[in-house]
Amino acid sequence: MSAFNAIGENVERDRNEYTPGLEPQPTWCPGCGDFGVLKALKGAAAELGLSPEEMLLVTGIGCSGKLNSYFDSYGFHTIHGRSLPIARAAKLANPGLTVVAAGGDGDGYGIGGNHFMHSARENHDMTYIVFNNEIFGLTKGQTSPTSPMGHKSKTQPHGSAKQPLRPLSMSLNAGASYVARTAAVNPNQAKDIIVEAIEHDGFSHVDFLTQCPTWNKDAKQYVPYIDVNDSEDYEIDVSDRKSASDLMYETENALNEGTVLTGRYYHDEDRPSYQQEKQNIGEMPEEPLAERYFDEDYEWERSYDMFLDKHK
Amino acid sequence: MTDDELIWRIAGGSGDGIASTSQNFAKALMRSGLHVFTHRHYPSRIRGGHTYTEIRASADPVKSRGDGYNFLLALGDSFARNPQENAYYGNEEVKPLSENLDELREGGVIVYDSGLLDTSEIEDFDERVEENGWHVYDIDLRTMAREHGREVMRNTAGVGVTCAIAGIDTEWIENLMRDAMPEKILDPNLEILEAAYEMVQEEYDVDAPDISVPEGEHDEEQVLLSGSDAIAYGALDEGCRFIAGYPMTPWTEVFTIMSQNLPEVGGISEQVEDEIAAAALAIGASHAGTKAMSGSSGGGFALMSEPLGLAEMTETPVVLVEAMRAGPSTGMPTKPEQGDLEHVLYTSQGDSHRVVFAPSDAAEAYHQTRKAFQIAYEYQIPSIVLYDQKNGGELRNVPASVFDEEPNGDIGSVISEEELADAPHDPSGKYNRFQHEGEKGVSKRSIPGQKGGRYLATGNEHMPAGHIAEDPDNRVFQVNRRMEKLEAIRAELDEGDVPNNTHYGPDEAEYGIMTFGSQQGTVEEAVDRLNDDGHSVKALGVSEMAPYPVEQVSEFLESVDECLVVEMNASAQFRGLTQKEIGKYGEKLSSLLKYNGNPFEPEEITEGFVTSIVEGEELPTHETKFVPAASD
Ligand SMILES: Cc1ncc(C[n+]2csc(CCOP(=O)(O)OP(=O)(O)O)c2C)c(N)n1
Ligand code: SF4
């Protein structure tokens, strides 16, 4: 018997099952793109038939970090930038869980940049959704790592002198095995991409364009979107790094110029997840660690029997 | 000073095999029935430089390195001849000999490798030998090693010479080599050992020096291990199966031992990108239902301040280890100090709390690490094992029975799925995970994946089901609940059977000495000597820093007229903590501080006690020896 009965329960589900009853109502501003992520995630979870109790949704800090307050599953609202290390350890400790991490562009690409790079490199089996609104929302409109050059804010009154960060290229180069960009104004594509990302066995990075009508009037919902998966102009081989890299280059320039390409850019289905690699070298148990503590028959090893001989 | 002991110092350059040789020799002495204690001194350098290890061996239990030593094996620094190093470090060729003479006792023995060291380069060498009655053996260990095997085996030759002079049966060493060495190198090593032993027997008068190794016998089986080993084994036996870390001396030792042993017990070790991640991973793994730990030393622990607070706010159990070294900042990486006490107690914002243990030796480290897990998982609070470079690295013999304890796979206050069915849930359908009904402030947690257990863990203030809230009544309720745990923990520690806050010396004594952590053994030795000299002294070694054992310490201070507080830092942090927690007896306390990078020796404590308590004089400011660099 498993100690975690909710895991693997997959039945047909309704997206409303992920709505936490009466309270709390989202505190996001009217028109905020974050609603789009919430909707897409609910749709994806329902489509995958995930039980709310086998999902762990880990977030950072920011307007984006409130996602798991409005999505009903197990949740861990952590600290600014630190969702990834917490999420990936939870997955290692209990690989049965469906682990999704989420946060903002400041959260994920700024303060959490180091963790972002290394989580992608290690290819943990999890999904990382970054709400990219090119601004710090919760702290009231400061320039973020993805804000365009010249972007003016209260803390950078003369406009940013920095090139915006290129998140897709970053995660691709760091080693993520699934890289996509979608947008709140593209709800169907967004849901499909999240489904695919969760199903993918490895680190899935979804750069999710969200608008922040309160602080970032240049929000991307006003520009035309092209879905590279559907468009004949962008016939790409998604398993090919080089072609993904070329397209990203184009996309990330385009993003700053006003045309937006969304869709799935890279999907390497062959690369084993970190967990698998770790199992291959003998540093990861086959059975979930977490189950052991609930198994009354489990025999706990003792250092006296195992290691003390070498000290005698 | 007891005569009936051998304090053997082996000196050379880092990378010359000083550590492994001394470890083997200590083990051989232990197997022969003696009590042993090792003290390491090494520079923050990979190869070369002045390094030594001391082994103190006696028929009676040994608690500290002692004062000075009586047998020097100066192997020579084989890396000193690197011309590039000369540029940075000056001429270090004779350091294994010259740097060690100050502490060599009268009548002691010097064995030096004349293949590498030249005494004519040391000023006053002959005069000092004469003055101190030292017995000098100049032996070309290097050539001997070359003839029989390889130059690196100079160590073995040195051990052979030691055995011949000190009258140690080489059989102990041979047996150990057979256990430890691969066949290929075993034979030449045995050969060198034998040759060195015989050469000394034949060519020297080995009865001349008054050095012999006492004979001893243990009542029960002993093991030789370090404080770091003991912490790692405590964690393993307590069911810890997940560790995340980032290397930093001296914490690296615990991290390494865990990483090497965890796969064997089906656990996971993760070396990650930084210390913030390391602590966060431990929290993530614990949240998902394992027993997990992380740790670091000063600077790395500073980065853990943020996740530490998260663990407290979300009531996620976690054990962090903090191995102190001299600070601030990167300080002195390989030198012990007890200067992180306040850092560990007070880091992280807000009314945050944690449990802090400061074990004094390996046996205590084992039990207290286990206790740290029990408390963390029972009370859902971070607990910290605070130790330092000294007790982490020193090898000593401990009865094997200390570790003969049942393992514990109990994960603490977790709710079962059956209980969840009846447990209170909020209108959103979430489990009210932060709403205890009980007295200890503890509310059982559910583990992701459990049916009916959904909740939100958050570092923001939250309602019982985890929804973020700034409601004033709830805020007060939650803060009180989290603080309530501390009293319950204090009560549990006071009643518990884990060795802690050790009293030493006669029950009735006029004066007291208080210390914490790694200095306890040395203080105990000083107490014995003071009482032998007609003083009336007892000691209290405190090893629970938070919640502070107010009652026990008050009783101790009540019972003495005055008390010397011994600690290895410059700002009297432990004394400050005691005064803050107890709020009285301040007038009874005076401080003996040391912060030059070396731990106390017993004599420094006895002298400090006499000067300060008996004679009532100001303690001299710390003795400073400023040696300009060779190029100045
Ligand atoms: C260590 C730390 N630094 C700063 C903050 C303050 N802070 C809260 S949210 C935030 C920015 C969030 O921006 P982003 O990640 O882009 O998310 P958004 O609010 O736009 O969704 C900052 C700087 C914090 N909570 N913690
Ligand atoms: S500030 Fe911006 S990101 Fe935050 S809720 Fe409002 S619109 Fe959304």
Contact A111, A67 (CB under 8 A): no
Dihedral of CA B393/B397/B402/B403: which sign? positive
Output the pLDDT for position A255: 67
The C-alpha atoms of residue B431 and residue B428 are separated, in whole angstroms, by: 9
Question: How much of chain B exceeds pLDDT 90, in percent?
Answer: 81
Q: B449 vs B86, which has greater pLDDT?
A: B449
Q: Where are the alpha helices (DSSP H) in B204-314?
A: 227-237, 252-261, 275-287, 298-303, 305-314
Contact B321, B295 (CB under 8 A): yes
Residue B2 is encoded by which pair of tokens? Answer: 């007891």
A271 Cα distance to chain centroid: 19
Neighbouring C-beta atoms of residue B118, cutoff 10 Å: 15
Output the pLDDT for position B621: 57
CA distances from B147 to A155, B190, B192, B198, B236 (A): 73, 13, 9, 15, 46
Please list the helix, strand and coil fractions of chain B in percent, rounded to the nearest 5, in that order. Answer: 40, 20, 35
**In the 3-class helix/strand/coil scheme, how is B77-114 assigned residue by residue?**
CCCCCCHHHHHHHCCCCCHHHHCCHHHEEEEEEEEEEC
CATH 3.40.920.10 intervals, chain B = 5-203
Output the pLDDT for position B470: 95
The C-alpha atoms of residue A170 and residue A103 are separated, in whole angstroms, by: 17
From chain B residues 170-229, the ones with a CB under 8 A of any chain A CB are 221-225, 229
Output the pLDDT for position B402: 97
Q: Does residue A156 sit in helix, strand or coil?
A: strand
Contact A214, A32 (CB under 8 A): yes
Q: What mean pLDDT comes out for the span B584-589?
A: 93
Question: Among B181-190, B397-406, B598-607, where is mean pLDDT lowest?
Answer: B181-190
Cβ separation B288–A89 shorter than 8 A: yes
Ligand 2 pocket residue status of A137, Cβ below 6 Å: yes
Ligand 2 pocket residue status of A34, Cβ below 6 Å: yes
Q: What mean pLDDT comes out for the span B288-308?
A: 98
Q: For residue range A226-240, what is the model confidence (pLDDT) as tens digits?
A: 888 888 888 788 999
pLDDT at B427 over 90: no
Minimal CA separation from B7 to chain A, in Å = 21
Contact B294, B278 (CB under 8 A): yes
Cβ separation A289–B280 shorter than 8 A: no
Output the pLDDT for position A227: 86
pLDDT at B3 over 70: no
pLDDT band at residue A278 using 50, 70 and 90 as cut-offs: very high
Nearest CA-CA partner of B212 in B177, B147, B168, B256? B168
Contact B320, A129 (CB under 8 A): no
Cα–ligand 2 centroid distance for A29 (angstroms):
5
The C-alpha atoms of residue B389 and residue B177 are separated, in whole angstroms, by: 28
B485 Cα distance to chain centroid: 29
> Residue B238: what residue type?
E
Residue in the block written with tokens 């408390």: B375
The C-alpha atoms of residue B609 and residue B619 are separated, in whole angstroms, by: 9
- Residues of chain A with Cβ-Cβ distance to B452 below 8 Å are 53
Contact B498, B366 (CB under 8 A): no
Contact A244, A236 (CB under 8 A): yes
Nearest CA-CA partner of B424 in B437, B411, B413, B412? B437
The C-alpha atoms of residue A111 and residue A117 are separated, in whole angstroms, by: 12
Exposed (0-12), middle (13-18) or buried (19+): which is A239, by Cβ within 10 Å?
A: middle
pLDDT at A32 over 70: yes
Q: For residue range B321-350, what is the model confidence (pLDDT) as tens digits?
A: 999 999 999 999 999 999 999 999 999 999
pLDDT band at residue B123 using 50, 70 and 90 as cut-offs: confident
The C-alpha atoms of residue B156 and residue B162 are separated, in whole angstroms, by: 10
pLDDT at B631 over 60: no
Which helix H or strand E contains B315, and what residues bound it?
none
Q: What mean pLDDT comes out for the span A109-128?
A: 98
Cβ separation A118–B289 shorter than 8 A: no
Q: What mean pLDDT comes out for the span B147-161?
A: 91
Output the pLDDT for position A232: 82
pLDDT at A221 over 80: no
Q: What mean pLDDT comes out for the span B456-464?
A: 97
Q: For residue range B156-214, what is the model confidence (pLDDT) as tens digits?
A: 999 999 999 999 999 999 999 998 888 888 999 999 999 999 999 999 887 777 777 88
The C-alpha atoms of residue B146 and residue A72 are separated, in whole angstroms, by: 73
Question: Among A168-172, A308-312, B43-47, B625-629, where is mean pLDDT lowest?
Answer: B625-629
Contact A231, A247 (CB under 8 A): no
Nearest CA-CA partner of A124 in A116, A114, A135? A116
CA distances from B201 to B157, B198, B438 (A): 13, 5, 74
**A279 lies within 8 A of chain B by CB:** no
Please state which CATH number belongs to domain B5-203: 3.40.920.10
Q: For residue range A253-263, what is the model confidence (pLDDT) as tens digits?
A: 766 666 788 99
What is the pLDDT of chain B when averaged over all its residues? 92
CATH 3.40.50.970 intervals, chain B = 224-403
Residue B493 is encoded by which pair of tokens? Answer: 């520690």
Which residues contact residue B64 at a Cβ distance below 8 angstroms, ignoring those fewer than 6 apart? B37, B56, B521, B522, B525, B600, B601, B602
Q: B615 vs B231, which has greater pLDDT?
A: B231
Output the pLDDT for position A43: 97
The C-alpha atoms of residue A213 and residue B436 are separated, in whole angstroms, by: 41
pLDDT band at residue B128 using 50, 70 and 90 as cut-offs: very high
Full DSSP string of B151-214? GGGHHHHHHHHHHHHHT--HHHHHHHHHHHS-HHHHHHHHHHHHHHHHHHHHHS-TTSSS--PP
Most confident of A149-153, B405-409, B626-630: B405-409
Cβ separation B428–A22 shorter than 8 A: yes
Q: For residue range B405-424, what is the model confidence (pLDDT) as tens digits?
A: 999 999 999 999 999 999 99
Contact B58, B4 (CB under 8 A): yes
Neighbouring C-beta atoms of residue B358, cutoff 10 Å: 31
* pTM given for the model: 0.95
The C-alpha atoms of residue B368 and residue B597 are separated, in whole angstroms, by: 26
Cα–ligand 1 centroid distance for A215 (angstroms):
14
pLDDT at B86 over 50: no
What is the pLDDT of chain A when averaged over all its residues? 93
Q: For residue range B356-372, what is the model confidence (pLDDT) as tens digits?
A: 999 999 999 999 999 99
Which residues contact residue B329 at a Cβ distance below 8 angstroms, ignoring those fewer than 6 apart? B299
Cβ separation B241–A289 shorter than 8 A: yes
Which helix H or strand E contains B61, and what residues bound it?
none
From chain A residues 87-106, the ones with a CB under 8 A of any chain B CB are 87-94, 96-97
pLDDT band at residue B560 using 50, 70 and 90 as cut-offs: very high
For A78, the closest of B221, B269, B310 (CB atoms) is B310
From chain A residues 14-43, the ones with a CB under 8 A of any chain B CB are 20-24
Minimal CA separation from A8 to chain B, in Å = 9
CATH 3.40.50.920 intervals, chain B = 502-627
Exposed (0-12), middle (13-18) or buried (19+): which is A188, by Cβ within 10 Å?
A: exposed
Q: Partners of B513 in the beta sheet?
A: B539, B564
Residue B38 is encoded by which pair of tokens? Answer: 């090792």
CATH (one of 3.30.565.10, 3.40.50.970, 3.40.1400.10, 3.40.630.30) for B224-403: 3.40.50.970
Question: Among A22-31, A125-134, A167-176, B532-541, where is mean pLDDT lowest?
Answer: A22-31
Q: What mean pLDDT comes out for the span B618-624?
A: 61
Residue in the block written with tokens 């979930």: A288
pLDDT at B558 over 60: yes
Fold of B502-627: Rossmann fold (3.40.50)
DSSP at B296: E
Output the pLDDT for position B81: 59
- Establish how many alpha carbons lie within 13 A of residue B332's alpha carbon, considering only the half-sphere containing its beta carbon: 18
B535 Cα distance to chain centroid: 30
Output the pLDDT for position A24: 66
Q: For residue range B481-531, what is the model confidence (pLDDT) as tens digits?
A: 999 999 999 999 999 888 789 999 999 999 999 999 999 999 999 999 999
B463 Cα distance to chain centroid: 41
Beta strands of B445-555 (E only): which ranges?
A: 456-458, 502-504, 511-516, 537-542, 544-546
DSSP at B401: G
Residue nearest to atom 9 of ligand 1 (CA): A62
pLDDT at B82 over 60: no
Residue A251 is encoded by which pair of tokens? Answer: 């996309």
The C-alpha atoms of residue B141 and residue B351 are separated, in whole angstroms, by: 61
- Residues of chain B with Cβ-Cβ distance to A18 below 8 Å are none
Output the pLDDT for position B625: 41
The C-alpha atoms of residue B554 and residue B589 are separated, in whole angstroms, by: 12
